[in-house]
Amino acid sequence: MKTREYIMDFIQKQKVAFIASVDEDCFPNMKAMFVPRKIEGNCFYFSTNTSSMRAQQFLKNPKASIYFYNKGRFRYEGLMLTGTVEVLQDAKIKQEIWHTGDIMYYKKGVTDPDYCVLKFTAIKGRHYCDLKTESFEVEDLR
């Protein structure tokens, strides 16, 4: 089994994360996002618009997954984590993950009501590399 350090190092090297929500008809919806702004334990923090379809779906159904991958010339590696998402409006976490360039997305700055944080909490995962797939529980990562 891969170690927690290996998995976190892999995630932090990626430039894009895919996040999936569930719509009102119970179909998965996926989109590419910037990588998490903060990782703390098994929690991953993303910034997004409060008015976005994704945030609204998470408010109705918190089930989610995130996916990271690296496609090399001869090697493909992917990591999926499944868990739940909370839509946060807490000023402290919004300030903590705010980047200066975010002003172009949120015109009113860090206090913009259309700026929120998605807190993804991983429960389990699946890792693929070198034609091998391995499932794991997040608390089992050593």
Q: Which residue has the higher pLDDT, 142 or 133?
A: 133
Give residue for tokens 């206090």: 111
Q: Which residues pair with 127 in a beta bridge?
A: 79, 134
Distance CA 119, CA 59 (A): 12
The single-letter DSSP state of residue 95 is: H
Counting residues of the chain whose pLDDT is more than 70, the rounded percentage is: 97
Q: How confident is the model at residue 141 (pLDDT cuts 50, 70, 90)?
A: low
Residue 108 in 3-state DSSP? coil
Q: How confident is the model at residue 3 (pLDDT cuts 50, 70, 90)?
A: confident
Q: What is the pTM of this model?
A: 0.93
- Around Cβ 134, how many Cβ atoms within 10 Å? 11
pLDDT at 43: 95
pLDDT at 119: 98
Mean pLDDT of the chain: 93
**Given a cut of 60, is residue 142 above it in pLDDT?**
no
pLDDT at 2: 72
pLDDT at 138: 86
pLDDT at 135: 93
**Helix (H) or strand (E) segment spanning residue 126:** strand 115-129
Distance CA 43, CA 46 (A): 10
